[in-house]
Amino acid sequence: MCGIAGGWTSSGISSRAVEKSLDAIRHRGPDDSGIFFEGPVFLGNRRLSIIDLEGGKQPISNEDGSVWVVFNGEIYNYLELIADLRSKGHAFRTRTDTEALVHLYEEYGTSLSQRLRGMFAFAIWDSRERLLYLSRDRFGKKPLYYTLSGEQLLFASELKALRPLAQEVGIQWTVRDQAIFDYLSLGFVPQPETLFEDVFSLGAGEWMVYDGAELKIEKYWSLQYVPKAAKGYKMVLEEARNLVAESVRLRLRSDVPLGVFLSGGIDSSVIAYEASRALGGSLNAFTVKMPDELLDESDVAARTAKHLNIRHTVLSLELDPLSDIQEVVRVYDQPFADPSAIPSLRVSRLAAEHVKVILNGDGGDEVFAGYRRYLAARYGSMLAWLPAAALAGLGSLLQGRASNRRSIMGFIARTLRGLACERAEQYLNWTLDMLRQTDKDKLWLRPAMRQTEEWIDSVLPEGLSPLDTLLCGDVRIILLGDLLVKMDMATMAASIEARSPLMDHELAQFAAGLPDSYKISNGVTKSVLRDAYADILPREVIRGGKRGFEPPLTKWLRSELRPLLIDSLGSNSAEVRSYIDGSFIDSLLQGKTFMHGNTSTLLYALLVLELWMRSFKTAYKSA
């Protein structure tokens, strides 16, 4: 696991600028660094040593030095790839997975990414063909940002590392109003665009080639939901178990201490079981003890660890919202309103005191259909006979009587309101539930922007069932732009590597090809995974509900964060008031509920946006 930076600059770039870029992401690779220059191309790396601790220094080349690579991530099938490459005559100087990339490129060219099983972002310089080749993993677990100005291409693992390079060659960054506009609906800036003009993220499952004049980008993979597998349910359960076991086994390859995050849920429990089965009694499991008893799953996790006979450590999480929110603003580079980033940062630092690699259950809900909203998509057609106006009216009525959004009444209300909408607005309603276009028409103060719903419509697939449409949308929108960003930035800030077995692309493709009736059966989410491990894991895990990993946000906004809210958003000079009608912000601060949306999350998103602008706007304008 590492941080990378580099580019193609015909006018050249100073080693000082590259070193400054790498220093900005030292947390991604505190163990080592390296820089390579040749002609117009430069490559830089900060290394977090996981495989071949002594021999894996980057950049790494092929035998004659004609192909060079810098790499961030892990190739889990590297041993099998190296064995195949050696049989074809390639010679290796190290035991690291990084070296496999240059030889794969020699053998397969730009199609090499299709042979990789892992999480990755890398750049290869082919000096013979004078090509710079960059690639990103299928789901977009590892970040890769770039900017192209004139004939100058620059890239880096984080925006904070890209900025010094842009500064050096005279590229000025300006904030995109469209990014702010979308953020107000999503709580994050959707990929592949960023908060800045002409700065982008390479898409998930994409590669690019640059020859100094032309930039070419191609998609090499996307998750396919058709055709549907015609298999019996018993066979599906057996195959699911086999694929999960293989995925976990591959992700246990490490030359440093490794552990697993264990919550009270099905995803992490499955991973803990398979890891303990592969490693015997040497597995370390870590559970977070949340300060809020309603969200705390440590007791369930302790019983699961005892059931599986694995070593278990409880990490007590003490949160300080005032300092923690500032840390989120500093670490995440762009406005990021997922409040679970706060405990994610904290628990990553706690885990880093024990291990250097951690397995988690990320992606399990999106792959195996674990969220409640998937029930709405699966069974919503049963209410299709009701007029939209009736659905919306009943939803609003129930919303007013619900104790909170997460209550059963709140869920039913959002389900009904969503069924009354077109699919893009429905997606917003069932997920973030913040500002929609009808709200922005009244509140947005700047020139008209492309509707966020229009962008969502372009991302959602056509011709799939409502359930698969929602699953695919979550993979392409929320998983990519929110959940994977949250985990990558949190763990990398603590210099540890997070691996997600349930996001193995072969496992995910298997799950995507299952019929809806297998994914959600008899009103039970994540049916295949639950049934596959029903005879192994405790019943309270198999049948337990989803709690999530969230802080008590509403409580914070009324207490610990209240003075900061008033000081920042309540001021007439607040930057957000140049985007959003100040009277609406005042109404939120006065405690008025945003009737058709998630008031707490919206208020928190506005606070994060204001803090980001205060902290970074001047710095970025000077870039």
Cβ atoms of 368 and 511 within 8 Å: the answer is yes
Annotated catalytic residue: which of 1, 2, 179, 479?
2
Cβ atoms of 366 and 563 within 8 Å: the answer is no
Cβ atoms of 360 and 262 within 8 Å: the answer is no
Cβ atoms of 206 and 217 within 8 Å: the answer is yes
Alpha-carbon distance 313 to 76, whole Å? 27
E strand segments, 150-256 = 152-156, 199-201, 206-210, 215-219
Phi and psi based region of residue 179 (left: phi greater than 0; alpha: psi -120 to 50; beta: remaining): alpha
How many other C-beta atoms lie within 10 A of the C-beta of residue 56?
Answer: 22
Give the sign of the dihedral formed by CA 547, CA 549, CA 554, CA 555: positive
According to DSSP, the residues that pair with 167 across neighbouring strands are: none
Pairing label, strands 199-201, 152-156: unpaired
Q: How many CA atoms lie within 13 A of 178 on its CB side?
A: 15
Residue 101, amino acid: L
List Cα–Cα distances, 255 to 48, 54, 496, 523, in angstroms. Answer: 12, 11, 13, 43
Residue 288 is assigned to a ligand binding site: yes
DSSP 192: T
E strand segments, 561-604 = none
Alpha-carbon distance 539 to 530, whole Å? 10
Q: Which residues contact 311 (CB under 8 A, 6 or more apart)?
A: 281, 283, 284, 285, 305
Pairing label, strands 206-210, 131-136: antiparallel
Tokens coding 126: 């082919």
Element (H, E) at 194: none
Active site residue 2: yes
How many other C-beta atoms lie within 10 A of the C-beta of residue 405?
Answer: 18
Q: How many CA atoms lie within 13 A of 287 on its CB side?
A: 26
DSSP 172: P
Cis geometry, peptide bond prior to residue 59 (ω within 30 degrees of 0): yes
What's phi and psi for 362, nearest 5 deg?
A: -55, 140
Residue 97 is assigned to a ligand binding site: yes
Candidates 190, 263, 248, 228; CA nearest to 452 is 190
Cβ atoms of 390 and 427 within 8 Å: the answer is no
Kindly write down the DSSP assignment for every residue of 248-278, as one continuous string.
HHHTT--SS-EEEE--SSHHHHHHHHHHHHH
Pairing label, strands 215-219, 258-261: unpaired
- Label residue 198 exposed, middle or buried (CB < 10 Å: 0-12, 13-18, 19+): middle
Residue stretches of the annotated binding site for L-glutamine:
97
Catalytic annotation, residues? 2
Residue stretches of the annotated binding site:
97, 288
Residue stretches of the annotated binding site for ATP:
288
